Chains A and B, each alone.
Chain A
Amino acid sequence: MENAPLLQMTAIAKRFGTQRVLDNVDFDLRAGEVHVLAGENGAGKSTLIKVLGGVHRPDGGTIRIDGRPVAFRSPREAAAGGVAIIYQELSLVPSMSVADNIHLGRERSWRGWMRYRIQRREAAQALARLGLNADTRRSVGSLPISIQQMIEIAKALSFQARILVMDEPTSALNEPEVHRLFATIADLKTHGCGIIYITHKLEEVYRIADRITVLRDGRHIATAPTGEMPAPALIRHMVGRELTEHAGREDVLLANRAPVRLAVENLTVRAASRGARSLVDRVSFDVRAGEIVGLAGLQGSGNSDLLMGLFGGYGRRASGAVRIDGRPFRPASPRRAIRHGVALVTNDRQRTGLVLGMSVTANVTLGSLPRVSRGGWLLRSRERRLAVQTTAALNLRAASLRQSVATLSGGNQQKVVLAKWINTRPRVLLLDEPTRGVDVGAKQQIYQLMNEWRRAGLAIVLITSEMPELLMMSDRIVVMHRGRAVTTLCRQEATQERILHAAMGGD
């Protein structure tokens, strides 16, 4: 038995509302090791990290550092306690200089006067430790992402952090940059830091990890030294999520001879910043009428971007040849896409799906107002009728169609979004997480609706992070990894293991 580990988290529990996100999770980290935290989207990794970092207060359990119990109430306290978290979204201020960023919140000053020279010197020292030689006066935003990442690490180290958490740090890096990051990590290990590393890439796991812990559905599944958990075992631990309620996908005998509705060839979505990796890189697939094609991929795989690009949401950043019912279609704007019969249910209904301040009726008809107006005038009775019809068809429950959608439950809000898109009479339906955050009953109803729509001949593309749902609903599954479609599996050959293996970049 060795002495107390650097970090010991015991029986951590956390719920959001009625949802149990972490269920008695144990986790420990030793000095000088890299501990990979693995799990599918929504397994609870981020929540666990946020509990450690003082963002969330745990509902139960204890955290000990060097054997002493701690309870961080804010990220600031956690930082003071030696925990540094490098989130995927960098938390630097792009307009401020490198030195100012590293000292943000604990500026070197004398009676309120900034001491810039000292700040710069210390910042340069912190960067030098990582083998980085950058002008500390430059603004952070003018530097490449990889350097920004290093600055973030330098900032963490200047806090004397001994527990370093990295959440997918390589997602924006190219290979030489990854190399440099890993060299840095190796160096940190020799200095006695413990590193918690979250990644969705198999290759990285086995390149860097000393130990691996797998979470699934908010529960601790397994912890083992890397040598004792080969890739097949790791993936077996990660999958095996049960669908809370088995649902009815009726086994429609899919007419493989049905005509191709949507044909996508070499669709590419460029990144917003120059030089960065394309979000979607030359993806091709097609969907027949009445077919549901699942688009699998972990966070950052580009599957959501693919749908957004196909819908015209990225404008001219998307390129490639798309055909709908054989006719060429250029996805230049959402308006154009809607005219061509494409509909997109986005993965964030509050931010991009609904106008929360408006009524149920106004939201349901927002995409199809020309249908209920003449010469620019709204025909209010016709609008109301359309809203009543579609909400009834979707079994939407609202006290009044005039009430604001903000007051509806998640499931009913989602139905409002679906109703809006059905009213545009689409031929191609792109669904990005259509059942996220809805209750079990509503989920069932959404599955039934999807069955109805495919019977009506719609071509459906489905993204869902719930693997059983994907397997149950899809006729075929296209798996994406780092912007590319790596494999296509038909319904019979698709298993959770195969999908996850491909999604993590395994061959």
Chain B
Amino acid sequence: MPSASHPSNALTDLADRPSWIRSVLGHPAVTAVFALALVFTLGLLFPGNKAFYEWLNRRDMLDQAFYNWSTHRDALRLVSISGILACGMTVVIITAGIDLSVASVLALVAVSFSVFCIRWNWSAWTAIPASLLIGVACGGVSGVFTAVFRIQPFIVTLAMMVFARGLAKTVSGGMKVSTAVQQSDGTYGNVDPPGVFSAIDSQILGGNVAVVSLILLACAVVTWVALSRLRWGRYVYAIGGNEEAARLSGVPVMSMKIAAYALAGLFSAIAGLCYAAQEQQGDPEAGLGYELNAIAIVVIGGTRLMGGHGGMGLTLLGTLIFAYLDKILSINAVPEASRLMLTGAIIVVAVLVQGRRR
């Protein structure tokens, strides 16, 4: 029917049109980019206090300054493991869930991977898939309990967090699985670290980029593709945005949710591999508290804990903010105690800024 004949339509048109300025300013990515720029500016202004280091007589620290690429390389290397965990966390949070078990699964996989490679001398081609499978299984179990038995994800993953940590200690026998191996004659001797450990822990492109940072990038790309290019990703947003509407639209809510937690488990496993490689051992206490780093990164990026909003791009920005904030404070010799307090404050500010926008 000709719409022009309906004067009421003109009115609804007007009401429907969003102000593009508001929509651009309101976009969470803008806030995150702005925050990152702010952090970067801080870094440029306080690139590491030269006089301070000279006074300390730490000439080596002078190289650590913000204008030096190695600083950036280290910042990105240090944040990589938390960043990888944050990839999975993003997906789970978009479904309006949470995964507290990521760090424990990381430890379990780190220990298992070390056992496979050091004690059992498996090749990387067997050890890596087996380790990843452990992570996927842990995530899958969490997913089943959340989606099928409808227990709150907080409780389920809290249980998995405790359980996986215990399993890690069982597998390792309560101690670190290191390259110091008991010989047949009862004495301890060091074996060479497996090649795959050194490969993951190395730096390429003339020593300018850490391999773990590239792994983070790969995880981020995979997550981004899954969320924005796959049917599954659309379902993840729909479930988080309005689970009942999604169910009534024929979305297979259960299997999609299980897949989300399994993916988080997979990324935890990848992080576990990296952790073991960096430490050259499997520590059952590995990554204590990292799940909170991952949640902090997601939140700082601007993904809302209520679900249905956000994305991998935001989490990547969050990762960078998190990384640089820490690095800039450390090169300016701000003590760790203050750094922790500042990080806490920044999380609150990030959420406040988001809340204001709504």
Contact = CB atoms under 8 A, between A and B. Distances in A.
Nearest to A397: B13
B150 interface: no
A332 to B, nearest CB: 13
Interface stretch (A181-189, A204-212, A217-225, A365-373): A365-373
Given A353-B245, A367-B250, A358 B237 contact: yes
Contact of B16 (A334, A337, A339, A398): A398
A335 B252 contact: yes
B245 A352 contact: yes
Contacts of B244: 351-352
B1 interface: yes
A313 B248 contact: yes
Nearest to B238: A355
Contacts of B13: 397, 399
B234 interface: yes
A407 B246 CA distance: 19
A491 to B, nearest CB: 26
A369 B231 CA distance: 7
B241 A448 contact: no
B12 A378 contact: no
A446 to B, nearest CB: 12
B112 to A, nearest CB: 30
A358 B237 CA distance: 8
Given A358-B238, A397-B3, A397-B13, A366 B230 contact: no
Contacts of B242: 351-352, 354-357
Contacts of B241: 355-358
B249 interface: yes
A441 B9 contact: yes
Given A362-B234, A362-B237, A376-B232, A399 B248 contact: no
Contact of A373 (B1, B231, B246, B247): B231
Contacts of A409: 12, 15-16
Interface string B196-232: 0000000000000000000000000000000001111
Interface in B3-25: 3, 6, 8-9, 12-13, 15-18, 23
Given A313-B248, A373-B231, A440-B8, A366 B238 contact: yes
A362 B230 contact: no
A195 interface: no
A35 interface: no
Given A362-B234, A369-B231, A407-B16, A424 B9 contact: no
B97 interface: no
A366 B249 contact: yes
A355 B237 CA distance: 9
Contacts of B23: 403
Nearest to B237: A358
B308 interface: yes
Nearest to A448: B1
A234 B252 CA distance: 49
Contact of A397 (B12, B234, B246): B12
A313 B246 CA distance: 12
Contacts of B229: 377-378, 380
B3 A395 contact: yes
A411 interface: yes
Nearest to A349: B245
Nearest to A311: B248
Nearest to A308: B248
Contacts of A407: 16, 18
A156 B151 CA distance: 36
Chain A to chain B: the 5 pairs with minimum beta-carbon distance, closest first: A355-B241, A399-B17, A338-B250, A367-B249, A355-B242
